[in-house]
Amino acid sequence: MKTQIEILSYIQPLLWSISTDKLDLQRDRVYVVHQVLSYGTLEHIKFLFTLYSRQEIVDVFVQHPKRLYQAAVFYFIKNIVLDLMNTPLEKNKYIKNVF
């Protein structure tokens, strides 16, 4: 079992706006889930599923949208990773504009 310090050191490069010594994996799960899904590698995403249950990740993604995804990443996460292809979500709440 990994300690919180080991966990945070692995995903720390994705969590740049909160100091990891102040981060709480439960309290800050919305931030952690979206940062990892949006900016992480497939290995980071796989690791996310060891931190939280699939249902917790889906609940965060659906109930707490964050506008920080590139369009291709949003559709990959929604349709492939989370298997939400038949779940209507407002893409403008997830996809950031690229000028």
Q: How many CB atoms lie within 10 A of CB 80?
A: 10
Which residues are bridge partners to 69 per DSSP?
A: 95
The answer to whether 48 touches 37, Cβ cutoff 8 Å, is yes
CA end-to-end span of the chain, whole Å? 43
Q: What local confidence, expressed as pLDDT, does residue 88 receive?
A: 95
**pLDDT value, residue 6:** 66
Q: What pLDDT was estimated at residue 85? A: 95
Is residue 1 scored above 70 in pLDDT?
no
| Among candidate residues 82, 17, 35, 78, the one with its CA nearest the CA of residue 56 | 82
pLDDT of 13-59, one tens digit each? 888 777 777 888 899 999 999 999 999 999 999 999 999 999 999 99
How high is the pLDDT of residue 23?
82
